[in-house]
Amino acid sequence: MKYLSTAPWRWSFISAAVVWLIAIAVTHGNGAGAMLTSALAMATFIVIVGIGQMFVIALGPGNIDLSLPANIGLASAVAMTVMNGDNALVGLGLLAALGCGLMVGLANYLLIWALRIPPIIATLSASFIIQSIDISYGRGLQIKPPPAFADFANLQFLGVPVLAVLAVLLAAFAALVLQHTIYGRWVLAVGQNARAARFAGVKVGWTRAATYMLCGALGGIDGALLAGYFRGANVDIGNEYLLSSIAVVVIGGCSVAGGKANLPGIWGASLFLVLLLTMLNTFGVGAGVRLLLTGIIIVAAISVASDDRAREGA
C-alpha cells in the first residue's frame, strides 16, 4: 500500500477515473461499460508507441523520436500491401511491418550517430523522407486488411479488447526488460549519465541503437494493428501519435530528463487521454472546442505532473 500511495503513476489512473466518472455523469450512467471498452481499445494503440517513446526518452536529455507518425503510416501501408487481403499472409504482413519499423529505427540511429546531430533533428529529417515515401507508395492504396486480421484487431472478450490484454502483457514484459535485464539497466544508466555509463563499461552506442530500433519496431507493429482495427491503411493514420506518445510518457510520471521510467504510468496516462476525448465527446462539443480543451488539459497535466528536477528535454 505504501508503494501505491507514493508511486509516481498513481495520478494518471486517478485522473483517468475522474474523467470517466464525469463522462458517465453526463450520460446518466448510459454506456459506461461500452465507453470503457472503446477507451481500452484506443488506449492500446497509444500504449504500444508510448512504451517505445518511453525507452527513447529514458536515454536522456534530447532523446526523442519524432518519426513515429510517419513510421506508423508507412508500416500500415506496407502491412496491408503484404497481407493483400489474404488471411494466410497475416503473419508475413506483421513481420513486414515489424521489419519496416526496425529499419526506420536503424535509419534514425545511423543519422544521429553519423551526423552527430541531436535526435530531434535526425528523427525529424528521417520522418520527412519516410512521409514522402509513404505518400508516394500509399497513394490510392485501397487494400482492406484480411478479414481474420481485422476481426482479431477488433476482438473482444467480455467487453475487454484482446489487443488491450496483449498490450498489458507487453507493458509487463517491458517493465521486466527495463528492471531485470542488462539492456534495461543500460538504458537507465545511459539516461542518468552517459559519460559515467561509458566508463562503467556500458556499450552506449549499442544501447542507443537498440532503443531507437525498439521504438521503431513498436511503431511498425502499431501501424499494422491500426490498419487492422480501422480496416484500412492511410497516410494520416499515425498523426495523433506524436503528441500522445510523448504526453503519456510525461503524464505517466517518467522523467523527461531520462534515466527514470515506469510502465504502469504509460497505461494510466493513455487511458486518461482517451477518456478525456470521450468525455469531451459526451459534452457534444465541436472540433474546435475539443482541440482547445485537449491542448489546455494536456499542458495543465504536464505542468502538474512534471517533477521540478526535470531538465530540458530538447
Partner 1 sequence: MIPPAGTTLHLRSLARALLPAFSLLVVLAGIAWLNPRSISYFGFSLMLNLAIPIVLATLAQMFVILGNDLDLSIGPFIGFATCVSATWLYDAPMAGAAILVCAVGAYAAMGALIHLRNLPSVVVTLGMGFVWQGLAILVLPQPGGQSPEWLASAMGVQPPFIPFPVLAAAVIALVVWFLLERTSYGVILRGSGGNPIAVRRAGWSLLKIKMTLFALAGLFGVLSGLSLVGLTTSADANIGNGYTLLGIAGVILGGGEFVGGRVSPIGAVVGALTLALAASPLLTFMNIPPDWQVGTNGAILIIVLTARVLVSRRQEAV
Residue ranges binding partner 1 (CB under 8 A): 62, 64, 111, 114-118, 120-121, 124-129, 131-133, 135-136, 139, 242-243, 246-247, 250, 256, 286-296, 298-299, 302-303, 306, 308-314
Do the Cβ atoms of 302 and 250 come closer than 8 Å? yes
Distances (CA, A) of 195 to 11, 65, 122: 33, 22, 22
How does DSSP classify residue 89? G
Please, which residue, 21 or 292, has the CB nearer to partner 1?
292
Closest contact distance (angstroms) between CB of 49 and partner 1 is 14
The type of residue at 29 is: G
Closest contact distance (angstroms) between CB of 122 and partner 1 is 9
Please, which residue, 98 or 130, has the CB nearer to partner 1?
130
Please, which residue, 91 or 295, has the CB nearer to partner 1?
295
Please, which residue, 128 or 206, has the CB nearer to partner 1?
128
Closest contact distance (angstroms) between CB of 307 and partner 1 is 9
d(CA 291, CA 295): 6
Closest contact distance (angstroms) between CB of 275 and partner 1 is 17
Closest contact distance (angstroms) between CB of 254 and partner 1 is 11
Question: Quick one: which of 214, 281, 196, 254 has its CA closest to 19?
Answer: 281
- Grid cell locating 250: 510525461
Q: What end-to-end distance do the CA atoms of the chain give, in Å?
A: 36
Task: Give start and end residues of each alpha helix (H) in the chain.
Answer: 2-6, 10-26, 32-58, 68-83, 90-115, 119-138, 147-153, 162-180, 182-192, 194-199, 204-229, 241-251, 263-282, 287-305
Strand pairing report for 156-157 and 160-161:
antiparallel
Closest contact distance (angstroms) between CB of 118 and partner 1 is 5
Closest contact distance (angstroms) between CB of 200 and partner 1 is 24
Closest contact distance (angstroms) between CB of 257 and partner 1 is 9
Closest contact distance (angstroms) between CB of 72 and partner 1 is 16
Say which residue the cell 532503443 belongs to: 211
Paired with 241 in beta bridges are none
Please, which residue, 125 or 193, has the CB nearer to partner 1?
125
Do the Cβ atoms of 231 and 75 come closer than 8 Å? no
The type of residue at 228 is: G
Do the Cβ atoms of 277 and 290 come closer than 8 Å? yes
Do the Cβ atoms of 231 and 144 come closer than 8 Å? yes
Please, which residue, 146 or 313, has the CB nearer to partner 1?
313
d(CA 268, CA 163): 16
Please, which residue, 4 or 314, has the CB nearer to partner 1?
314
Do the Cβ atoms of 53 and 251 come closer than 8 Å? no
Please, which residue, 176 or 304, has the CB nearer to partner 1?
304
Please, which residue, 119 or 228, has the CB nearer to partner 1?
119
